[in-house]
């Protein structure tokens, strides 16, 4: 299955992609991750990408398309993938269609995890991260640590990331709507968009995704 997962920050893309990846045995490919992996390379392209990312801007389409294209040509992506963070612009979506045509394949479905903006702000701004390990994440209300301010796993101090402050979160959410709305329409027009209500417990959302995909296959 060739899937794209979209949604505002806090919708649970990473969590759901990890669950589906296990169930469907396909890789989870994030464009942000591909760019972050270029950090250790000392090439003109890697330096250009690092500077752009540091400014919080989008990497130009031609570079992004080339990097994603190379990744999707790897053998482990031949039977399918979950693409996260790409496409982000219309030219990227068109390039992906062209690439899929070259591979003799097409996108199976675009999963749009939907939550209200207020819920996204609540989820992200309540997030607490461990100073010792960024993968140890809590939530003030939904998943509080046993001792306030202290990581259950390693005793590290918990803190709120600067870009998780409510004002910054609202800005990122507004950007998502501004830039991504046209892509949702692009895929809706092609009959590929599957809207999933993501304001439910993690397992319920995973089940909803798998049921949607099963229903597609049964058609």
81 counts as binding ligand AMP under rule CB under 6 A: no
Tell which one of 58, 103, 132, 204 touches ligand AMP (CB under 6 A): 58
Vertex 34: Cα angle to 164 and 133 (nearest 5): 45
Q: Compose the 21-50 pattern: x for residues touching ligand AMP by CB under 6 A, - for all others.
A: ----------xx--x---------------
Is 190 one of the catalytic residues? no
Q: SS in 3 state form for 152-197?
A: CCCCCEEECCHHHCHHHHHHHHHHHHHHHHHHHHHHHHCCCEEEEE
| Calpha distance 191→188 (Å, rounded) | 5
Pick the stretch among 81-89, 117-125, 126-134, 183-191 that binds ligand AMP (CB under 6 A): 81-89
Task: State the residue for tokens 């464009």.
Answer: 31
Q: Under rule CB under 6 A, which residues in 116-145 are in contact with ligand AMP? A: none
CA of 66: how far to CAs of 22, 30, 72, 173, in Å? 27, 14, 10, 27
Interface with ligand AMP, residue 52, by CB under 6 A = yes
- Site residues for ligand AMP, 85-114, by CB under 6 A, read 85-86, 88, 92
Three-state DSSP class for residue 142: coil
Q: Which residue in the list 13, 71, 123, 194 is annotated as catalytic?
A: 13
Active-site positions? 13, 88, 127, 161, 172
Site residues, ligand AMP (CB under 6 A): 31-32, 35, 52-53, 56-59, 64, 85-86, 88, 92
């Amino acid at each position: 299955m060739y899937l794209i997962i979209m949604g505002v920050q806090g919708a649970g893309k990473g969590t759901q992609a990890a669950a589906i990846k296990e169930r469907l045995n396909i890789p989870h490919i994030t464009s942000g991750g591909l760019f972050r992996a270029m950090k250790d390379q000392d090439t003109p392209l890697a330096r250009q990408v690092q500077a752009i990312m540091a400014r919080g801007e989008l990497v130009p389409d031609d570079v992004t398309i080339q990097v994603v294209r190379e990744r999707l040509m790897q053998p482990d992506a031949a039977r399918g993938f979950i693409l996260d963070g790409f496409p982000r612009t219309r030219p990227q979506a068109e390039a992906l269609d062209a690439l899929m045509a070259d591979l003799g394949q097409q996108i199976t479905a675009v999963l749009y995890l939907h939550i209200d903006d207020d819920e996204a702000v609540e989820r992200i701004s309540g997030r607490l991260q461990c100073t010792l390990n960024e993968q140890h994440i809590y939530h003030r209300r939904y998943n509080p640590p046993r001792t306030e301010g202290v990581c259950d796993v390693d005793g590290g101090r918990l803190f709120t990331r600067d870009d998780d402050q409510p004002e910054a979160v609202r800005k990122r959410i507004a950007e998502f709507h501004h830039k991504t709305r046209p892509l949702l329409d692009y895929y809706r027009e092609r009959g590929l968009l599957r809207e999933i209500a993501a304001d439910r417990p993690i397992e319920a959302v995973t089940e909803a995704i798998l049921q949607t995909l099963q229903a597609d296959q049964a058609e």
